[in-house]
Amino acid sequence: MKDFINKLYRNHSLIYKGLLFICTTFLIVYLFPKSGKFKYNFEKGKPWQSENLYAPFNFAIKKTENEISKEKQAIEDNKILYFNVDKTISVKIKSEFETQFKNVFADSITKFNLDELLKTGNVIISELYQFGILNEDYSFPDNKVVTILDNRVEKEKVLFSNLIKQDEVVSIIEKNLSNQNLSRFKTNFVSLFFDFVEPNLFFDESTTEKALQDEFDKIAYARGSVEKGTLIISKGEVIEGDKYQKLKSLQSEYESQVWSKSNYNWILFAYTLLVALALLMLLLFLRKYRADVFENNTKVTFIFFNIFLMILITTLVVNYNSKYIYIVPICILPLVFKAFFDARLGLFAHVITVLLLGFIVPNSYEYMFLQIIAGIVTILTVSELYKRANLFISVGQITLIYIVAYFAFFVIHEGTVETIRWETFIWFILCGLATLFVQPLIYIYEKLFGLVSDVSLLELSDTNSKLLKELSNIAPGTFHHSLNVANLAEASANEIGANAMLIRVGALYHDIGKMKNPTYFTENQSTGINPHDELSSKESAKIITDHVINGIEIARKNNLPDRVIDFIRTHHGTSVVYYFYMKEKDQQKEVDKLDFSYPGPKPFSKETAILMMCDSVEAASKSLKDPTSTKIDAFVENIINKQIEEGQFLNANITFKEIQSIKKVLKHKLANIYHLRIEYPE
Q: To the nearest whole percent, how much of the chain has pLDDT over 70?
A: 89
Predicted confidence (pLDDT) at residue 680 exceeds the cutoff of 50: no
* Residue pLDDT, tens place only, 542-569: 999 999 999 999 999 998 888 899 999 9
Q: What are phi and psi of 47, to 5 degrees?
A: -70, 150
pLDDT at 462: 87
- Please give the residue that has the higher pLDDT: either 527 or 248: 248
Confidence of residue 372 (pLDDT cuts 50, 70, 90): very high
User: What interhelical angle do 297-320 and 12-31 show, nearest 10?
Assistant: 0
Break the chain into its structural domains and give their ranges. 2-29+262-449, 37-63+220-258, 75-215, 455-673
Predicted confidence (pLDDT) at residue 258 exceeds the cutoff of 60: no
On average, the pLDDT of the chain sits at 83
**CA quadruple 575, 578, 583, 587: dihedral positive or negative?**
positive
- How far is 612 from 654, CA to CA, in rounded Å? 13
**CATH of 455-673 given 2.30.29, 3.40.50, 1.10.3210, 1.10.357:** 1.10.3210
Range in 278-282, 301-305, 669-673 with the lowest mean pLDDT: 669-673
Confidence of residue 218 (pLDDT cuts 50, 70, 90): confident
The alpha helices in 321-381, defined as continuous H runs, are 332-340, 343-357, 364-381
- How far is 415 from 240, CA to CA, in rounded Å? 11
* Residue pLDDT, tens place only, 597-641: 888 799 988 999 999 999 999 988 887 777 788 888 898 999 999
* Residue pLDDT, tens place only, 319-349: 888 778 888 999 999 989 988 888 899 999 9
Which residues are CB-contacts of 564 (< 8 A; sequence separation ≥ 6)?
452, 460, 502, 505, 506, 509, 555
pLDDT at 612: 95
Q: To the nearest whole percent, how much of the chain has pLDDT over 90?
A: 25
CA angle 120, 122, 123 (to 5 degrees): 60
CB 132 within 8 A of CB 100: no
**Measuring CA to CA, how many Å separate 350 from each of 18, 278, 329, 332, 544?**
21, 12, 12, 9, 46
Helix/strand/coil (H, E, C) string of 126-144? HHHCCCCEECCCCCCCCCC
Predicted confidence (pLDDT) at residue 36 exceeds the cutoff of 80: no
pLDDT at 514: 92
Helix/strand/coil (H, E, C) string of 73-133? HHHHHCCCEEEEECHHHHHHHHHHHHHHHHHHCCCCCCHHHHHHHHHHHHHHHHHHCCCCE
User: What interhelical angle do 186-196 and 87-104 show, nearest 10?
Assistant: 140
- How far is 649 from 643, CA to CA, in rounded Å? 8
